[in-house]
Amino acid sequence: MNYPTKHSKISAWVNEIVNLTQPDSIVWCDGSKAEYDAMIKISVDAALAIPLAKRPHSYLFRSDASDVARVENRTYIASKSEENAGPTNNWINPLKLKSAMTKLYKGCMHGRVMYVIPFSMGPLGSHIAKIGIQITDSPYVVANMHIMTRVSSKVFDILGESGEFIPCLHSVGKPLGPGQDDGGHWPCAPLSQKYIAHFPEEETIWSYGSGYGGNALLGKKCLALRIASVKARNEGWLAEHMLILKCTNPEGRSKYIAAAFPSACGKTNLAMLVPTVPGWKVETIGDDIAWMKPGSDGRLYAINPEAGFFGVVPGTSMDSNPNAMRSIEKNTIFTNVALTKDGDVWWEGIGYDAPGTVIDWTGKRWNQDKEGGNQSPAAHPNSRFTAPVSQCPSAAPEWEDPSGVPIDAILFGGRRPTTIPLVTQSFDWNHGVFMGSIAGSEITAAALDLKIGTIRRDPFAMLPFCGYHMGDYFAHWIRMGQKTPVEVQPKFFFVNWFRKNKEGRYLWPGYGENSRVLKWVFERCDAVGKAIETPIGYMPDHDAIERPADVSKEAMKELFHLDVEGWKAELDDVRTGHYPKFGANLPQELKDQLDAIYKRLG
């Protein structure tokens, strides 16, 4: 075969997978527009994609009902030792898992084309970037990888004959017989045959049976977080589930902020924020993942390793996120949203009623029940858009600077109706790591597996994405603090946009008004923001954050009320229910932080 690379390991690996999966043909991807258009045409011709008349070069896909989200219970960290995977990951012996998956892979690409996708996570040639090669039998995956990563034949030039790459193997798990096609139905395997497997010691990813999102776009959560977090620990950097934004004050000075929030806490909205504070500007570096490496000056420099947004659609509107709405006006792939009669898309929370009868995400006619009945949604709650960062109006000029941007502040957050103030600053690095280690959101009625009102901890928003023992992950953060000179360390903050009053109403309006908190964060990085010292950290002085017009003085007071008994209960929960799961791997420094805060509370 005539391969476009002289890298012997790539050629040998591709030959091995060809012999195992037995595709009808092979295509080596080059990242060109013609190639992207070809993938879309294949999907449209197969009745798997619908062109959208109202949005140029945009298309709607509908997945199978069994293939609508990441499948956490079928996602595995197959380290050689179960101890290395830790208590928060699904572990299977790697030899056992490979044996089971190899049987599924055998002949799985019959009747299909095998695509070999060379891609870079991060700008091509960046010292922070990493290279992956994904094999897939899905044109949908190829098209999405074009948007989400830097797919290019230049990757082979960077690798040369022996450069490091991460092999990513994927199949939808639905071979075709002679003359057979998908019949217009999304191809995937049953849930019991879906596997998303990570082999940390080999730095290899195998995925089978799903064609959707993070299960199939292996550059995203699989490489950029689960495998990269292991590489980051081994190589002395950080791979984090964090947005990156640029904040500029009226004098034209800028700071760069990374932020980690669990799902449904407004990460994308913050990354694309439109400030309400006059003269201030927020620009987007990335909305989901940050890779941070120490620079020659000791500071942490971050890149967004992705080239696109794979965002949740429901709730996105011109009110909640105008920059996201403008980002998806063209050149966008939509998955599992509703289709309007005039060839546009619609979803719950878009900001206006459904325009008459629409076709819902399952392909059925749907009319909106405006009386508030128990109606199934027209768009799946996890429906998505895939759009290039380059067409986001708020994209910062340096969003793909190969050198990265220097991080001045790191935010953690969660959806907490009580106890947690609007914003708190840590006393130092280890206190900041403590803040990240206990992050989480309160359980609502939507989560039936846990008691309402309890806290679902999601440390650093990395619970589903850390590729090794999370106690060791905390220890890695402690070590990074020891390596980073104090004078250039980013400041740590914990924010909570979701505190409520006794009547259950939100005390803070959120969205653009969050810029008032960013302003204080900016000022604290310059050591000029007014603050008071409390047992849980520094909090803004009474007039340090300008009060929004629709927030009363009483509400502002409540937003910063230190609930001593609530905090003691919080720390008791951490001490008895959260930290013990990490066993002997929990760093002593975090135990010391817990004891110190409890003592300061009195």
Residue numbers annotated as active site: 265
Helix (H, G, I), strand (E, B) or coil at 496: coil
Element (H, E) at 573: helix 564-573
DSSP letter at 506 equals B
CA 110/CA 296 separation, integer angstroms: 51
Helix (H, G, I), strand (E, B) or coil at 290: strand
CB 375 within 8 A of CB 351: no
Chain centroid to CA 324: 15
- In 353-481, DSSP assigns E strands to 358-359, 365-366, 384-388, 405-406, 409-413, 423-425, 440-442, 455-457
With CA atoms as reference, report the closest residue to 167 among 210, 125, 215, 219.
Answer: 219
Task: Tell me the pairing of strands 333-335 and 59-61.
Answer: parallel
DSSP letter at 441 equals E
Helix (H, G, I), strand (E, B) or coil at 7: coil
CA 345/CA 482 separation, integer angstroms: 50
CB 478 within 8 A of CB 432: no
In sign, the C-alpha dihedral spanning 22, 23, 28, 31 is negative
Task: Tell me the pairing of strands 455-457 and 333-335.
Answer: unpaired
CA 48/CA 96 separation, integer angstroms: 35
CB 216 within 8 A of CB 206: no
Residue 344 φ then ψ, to 5°: -120, 180
Q: Which two tokens stand for residue 239?
A: 């791979």
Range list of H helices, 267-368: 267-271, 322-327
Task: Tell me the pairing of strands 455-457 and 290-294.
Answer: unpaired
Residues 6+ apart with CB under 8 A from 52: 58, 59, 60, 334, 339, 343, 344, 345
Using alpha carbons, list the distances in angstroms from residue 15 to 20, 116, 218, 323, 511: 9, 11, 20, 44, 51
State the Cα torsion 208-465-68-366 to the nearest 10°. Answer: -170
CA 326/CA 392 separation, integer angstroms: 7
